[in-house]
Amino acid sequence: MRKTLGLYIHIPFCRSKCLYCDFCSFPRADGETVEAYAKALCRDLARRSAECDEYTVDTVYFGGGTPTLLPIGLLTKILDIVAGCYHLATDTEITAECNPATGGLEYFAEMRRSGFNRLSIGLQSTHAEELRALGHINSFADFEKTFSEARAAGFHNISADLMSGIPHQTAERYLASIDRLAALLPEHISAYGLTVEEGTPFGKMGDRLILPDEDTARQMYFEGIERLASHGYGQYEISNFARAGYESRHNLKYWNCDEYLGFGPAAYSDFGGDRFGNSRDLAAYIEGVSIECDRETPTRSQRMNEYVMLRMRLSEGVSAIEFQRRFGCSFDEVFGKRLEVYAKHGLAERSHSGWHFTKEGFYVSNAILSEILDFSE
């Protein structure tokens, strides 16, 4: 049987830079650079396809940045190269990230015709003052317009991102954002907490950045899960919620430790037993100079720990049978015993198939995982 593979294609351009953003994205790139970048991507995609002959690609994900800032001809050209050079499954999930006030009805219709079948729109909040606090240049009205244009163009699988922990945000306002977004009936909602990264404008503000306190953050997390459930969105990962059957197949590859190849600056890959990435050097990538960095072949022990770390992000947790199949040893003997301690406090649970965190456990999962995992090797 052919192995399956996900492709991640990075489009590192945005209209402006959000105040918390640590992604590899360049605001206000000129048309020449954008075109040269698309060419470089096509060259790279074609070159690497020779190594993928025995794989079926079943997910393709255009992330960013803002992929829908590319002229439509360039975006569909890149997808054409993928379709021409790789073995695509007939039901391949093909996603593009998008920001409000980009794309448009004709643009989305062309995307649908070329094969895109999923859109992930960055909303973050429905409140103008919260969007302003994040440095976003769009409004909720922009989001509603983009959402309805995508629907009209035939996108039946749309995800939207929400954020908690925004400066001055209250739990009531966060829950109101969930209600207003859910009223539009997207198939999938990602609900992330803000992380303040070093080097970003937020990171440089230090104590001047007023974030919701711990009690409010906790209230937003737990009441957010309940509110999403009341609208029909099941939690399948710490920060991801979907109507049944609309879980992100591409992102599940990361949490299941399946293989994927990343293209473009700052894109990472896990392929053929190796993990490797690209630096953020956009100019070198356009020139065709290799920007690969951090290549390593993880040991079995590193793979086991990584598998537990990622699978425990999922509501279904680790399957003991799958663990045995991958690593030839018992999950219970290595990790199960360590999880027993947390089960006593209601943070982890043994199921008929393995182990998973409870909702309380999810909330403190980083601390638990740092206790039970061993990356010292």
Residues 25-84 that bind ligand SF4 (CB under 6 A): 25, 64-66
What whole-number distance in Å separates Cα of residue 70 and Cα of residue 12? 10
Cβ atoms of 356 and 348 closer than 8 Å: yes
- For ligand SF4, the closer of residues 65 and 224 by Cβ is 65
Count, residues near ligand SF4 per rule CB under 6 A: 11
- For ligand SF4, the closer of residues 14 and 160 by Cβ is 14
Q: How far is the CB of 69 from ligand SF4 (least distance, A)?
A: 9
- For ligand SF4, the closer of residues 21 and 261 by Cβ is 21
Using CB under 6 A, which of the segments 12-20, 329-337, 355-363, 368-376 binds ligand SF4?
12-20
Q: How far is the CB of 11 from ligand SF4 (least distance, A)?
A: 9
- For ligand SF4, the closer of residues 66 and 319 by Cβ is 66
Q: For ligand SF4, which residue of 23, 192, 268, 363 counts as binding (CB under 6 A)?
A: 23
- For ligand SF4, the closer of residues 16 and 230 by Cβ is 16
Farthest-apart Cα atoms in the chain, separation: 60
**C-alpha pair distances (Å), 214 with each of 10, 171, 208, 219, 221:** 34, 11, 17, 9, 11
Q: How far is the CB of 144 from ligand SF4 (least distance, A)?
A: 18
What are the backbone dihedrals phi and psi of residue 7, each rounded to the nearest 5 degrees, phi first? -115, 130
The residues, ordered by sequence, that sit 6+ positions from 230 with a Cβ below 8 Å of its Cβ are: none
Q: How far is the CB of 142 from ligand SF4 (least distance, A)?
A: 13
Using CB under 6 A, which of the segments 11-19, 48-56, 180-188, 300-308 binds ligand SF4?
11-19
What are the backbone dihedrals phi and psi of residue 96, each rounded to the nearest 5 degrees, phi first? -130, 135
- For ligand SF4, the closer of residues 18 and 368 by Cβ is 18
Q: How far is the CB of 122 from ligand SF4 (least distance, A)?
A: 6
Q: Is the peptide bond before 122 cis (omega within 30 degrees of 0)?
A: no
What whole-number distance in Å separates Cα of residue 100 and Cα of residue 27? 16
Here's the x/- map for ligand SF4, 169-208, by CB under 6 A: it reads as ----------------------------------------
CA nearest 65: which of 23, 107, 100, 94?
A: 23
Cβ atoms of 267 and 6 closer than 8 Å: no
Using CB under 6 A, which of the segments 17-25, 112-120, 141-149, 170-178 binds ligand SF4?
17-25
Residues 87-146 that bind ligand SF4 (CB under 6 A): 99, 122
Which amino acid does the sequence have at 17? K
Strand partners, 120: 97, 159
CA angle 236, 237, 242 (to 5 degrees): 45
> Which single residue is written with the structure tokens 């990602």?
190
Q: Is the dihedral of CA 106, 107, 111, 114 positive or negative?
A: positive
Using CB under 6 A, which of the segments 16-24, 172-180, 182-190, 345-353 binds ligand SF4?
16-24
Chain residues in the site for ligand SF4 (CB under 6 A): 14, 17-18, 21, 23, 25, 64-66, 99, 122
